[in-house]
A and B are shown apart, each in its own frame.
Chain A
Amino acid sequence: MNTFRIGWRNIWRNGKRTWITVVAIALNTAILIVSYALMQGMMVDMVDNATRMVVGDAQVHAPGYRLDQSMYKCIKEPEKIVDAARKAGIQAAARSYGFGLISSGSKSAGGIFWGVDPAAEQKSFELSKHMLIGEYLSAEPGKNVVLGQKLAKSLHADVGSEIVAVVQAADGSLGNELFTVCGILKVAGEKIDRGGAIIHRADFEELFVSGGRVHEIALNAWGKLSAEEVAGVASVAAGDDEVKTWKQLMPLLFEMVKMFDVAIFIFGLVFFLAAGLGVMNTMLMATYERIREFGIQKAMGSTPWRIMKDVSIEAFVMAVFSTLIGAAIGVAAGLYFQEYGINLEAMARETITFSGIAFDPLWRATLSGKIVMLPVFVMWIICVVAALYPAGKAARLNPVRAMTHV
């Protein structure tokens, strides 16, 4: 403990210089914490938007369904999977898909019909709240349909419009039905925007004579479990059916997340290098000033190891002090951005979408223990490592020459 006290006293022998270094390290730490938190925030927001909107943490499909979206490739025991998920506290929504022709007035277009359970969708996913106009489906089947934005536009359909659905039913017959548009979705990714026509499960079964076939179960744990844990729960009940996490379902997004990690690493490297060089400079100066002192210490029997330790601890003490200030600033700023965020609305009026993923224009930071502690710890290590060179120089001094050094 004594060494630390000596170290503390030593760093204040030149207060002005120490303060400059402390401020530099503190600012570096604070900037690292805030930018890390902002990056993390964007990443979490992106992943959450992508998964909580409609995809979920994980999904179950029949083997091969994702490659060939055939009506006949359905999940064997959907109820079992949904029950298992709900028991584990995971929200689950079963969906059926079918292709068909959608026609409104003189306009017509191809589309994908989604047969959903509106109650489960509302509990499990945010898409149901993502309405541009109108309302999502009600819990009871009523021959209503929710359309993707671009599809609605190309059909010239509005809330209250009547559309005709013509489909090839599962038994080979021609299914056709009138639906009333009850709502139009906000931009929610290309697949939904261009072709999405969401209808009630019961209406779907009638239209497609689908006999209760379920093609997809989307699972959402709302952050309580990791995607892998969710997939694990589903796998137990899924049997032969394939379970994929969002990382496998949206590989592009996952690549982006990984890219973010690399970016923050490079960004961090630059800041740590700057901080390290600052510390090295300060410690070089501090030891150079005290060459005579070190000479006397050595003459009195200090081992080189002892001197090395003293100088390193001095750097460490300074690092701890600086990072405490830095962390305080970083956490304060991080909390501010976590609470209020940065509003990007001025730059983009509408929701920003990137490769089918919708972004929130309010950019919030996400602060966590790891985000604060990682820059702080790495900074300690950097400072001590940077001090090793001056410390080594001091330790190797010849006592006689050092004592007579002017």
Chain B
Amino acid sequence: MRFLEWMCLVAIVLLVGPAVATPKGAAKTAGKKLTPKQILDYVDDLYRGESSYAKMSMKVVTEHWTREMRMEGWSEGKEKSMFRILAPKKEKGMATLKHGENIWNYLPKVKRVIKLPASMMGGSWMGSHLTNDDLVKESRMADDFDFENTFRGRRDGQEIIEITCIPKPKAAVVWGKVVLVVREGDYMPLKMLYYDEDLELARTMTFEDIKKLGGRTLPAVMKIVPADKPEELTEFRYEKVEFNIKLKKGLFSLRNLQR
């Protein structure tokens, strides 16, 4: 089911995101001193907007296969998102619609829409680089975690700020600890380290290729590497991003999904 989950992941993590969008936040950070909370909010909002459009490619490397696909997607608020696969040929036209808690997939080959069962959305996602939790995540770091600045200075030839986040006792978080590393000065995210409940490193997310996209400066590449399979990798690369755009009415409908 890895791919289905990927479809959902991309839809939600990258496109749906906007929890509480602060469109102005992005532009105003440079040169200001931010508190750890402000840094977390800043990183949370970096890819979020009232509405958005994105075109991206996703590369997945596993022990057995490597695949790359291109897709485009739209989001509105945190509730609705939709995206469509552009390439390769076998998956072209497959589409995913997320509306609140529900996810539907359209399969052009058989011309059917199927609703992803709840059992496939919750719990950990076997053998993959991400957990299902990532797919339905709509929360904000600053709300779910207790955090503190654990490092500030030079590391690996770069001035960085490290913030260590420990989940609040009642937060619905699967991780034992999350460490965020941002660049000093413009607070660009560099790395996120996810630790399991035994505080063993579970996966590393790195951000690369910082550039201007959709009027914002942000890392265009995200890489996720599971700690137990360092030779495996998932990489997202934004080709085009637009924030706070006007979207067609009825875009997030089952009818449009089958277009």
**B-binding residues in A (CB < 8 A):** 72, 99-101, 103, 106, 108-110, 164, 166-168, 170-174, 176-178
Contacts and interface: CB of A to CB of B under 8 A. Distances in A.
A164 B64 contact: no
Given A101-B1, A172-B67, A166 B114 contact: yes
A14 B212 CA distance: 116
13 contacts: A101-B114, A103-B114, A103-B115, A106-B115, A109-B117, A168-B2, A168-B3, A172-B60, A172-B62, A172-B64, A174-B90, A174-B91, A174-B94
Interface residues of B, number: 26
Contact of A100 (B1, B63, B91, B115): B1
A173 B112 contact: no
Contacts of A176: 107, 109-110
A100 B117 CA distance: 12
Interface in B29-80: 60, 62-67
A108 B1 CA distance: 13
Contact of A168 (B1, B88, B94): B1
A174 B1 CA distance: 8
B199 interface: no
Contacts of A172: 2-3, 60, 62, 64-67
Nearest to A108: B117
A164 B1 contact: no
Top 9 A-B pairs, shortest CB-CB distance: A172-B65, A103-B114, A172-B67, A174-B3, A176-B107, A178-B110, A108-B117, A168-B2, A164-B112
Interface in B201-239: none
Contact of B4 (A106, A174, A177, A178): A174
A101 B5 CA distance: 12
Given A72-B64, A101-B116, 16 more contacts: A101-B120, A103-B112, A108-B114, A108-B117, A110-B1, A110-B117, A110-B120, A164-B110, A166-B4, A167-B1, A168-B3, A168-B4, A173-B90, A174-B4, A178-B110, A178-B112
B119 interface: yes
Interface in B106-126: 107, 109-110, 112, 114-117, 119-120
Interface of B: 1-4, 60, 62-67, 88, 90-91, 94, 105, 107, 109-110, 112, 114-117, 119-120
B105 A166 contact: yes
A220 B93 CA distance: 46
Contacts of B107: 164, 166, 176
B64 A101 contact: no
A176 B116 CA distance: 14
Contacts of B63: 72
Contacts of B60: 172
B95 to A, nearest CB: 12
Contact of A170 (B4, B64, B110, B119): B64
A158 to B, nearest CB: 18
Nearest to A178: B110
A173 B65 CA distance: 9
A110 B1 CA distance: 9
Contacts of B66: 172
Contacts of A167: 1
B64 A173 contact: no
Contact of B65 (A103, A109, A164, A171): A171
A171 B88 CA distance: 13
A378 B116 CA distance: 65
Nearest to A72: B64
Nearest to B109: A176
Contacts of A110: 1, 117, 119-120
B61 to A, nearest CB: 9
A108 B115 contact: yes
Contacts of B105: 166
Contacts of A170: 64-65
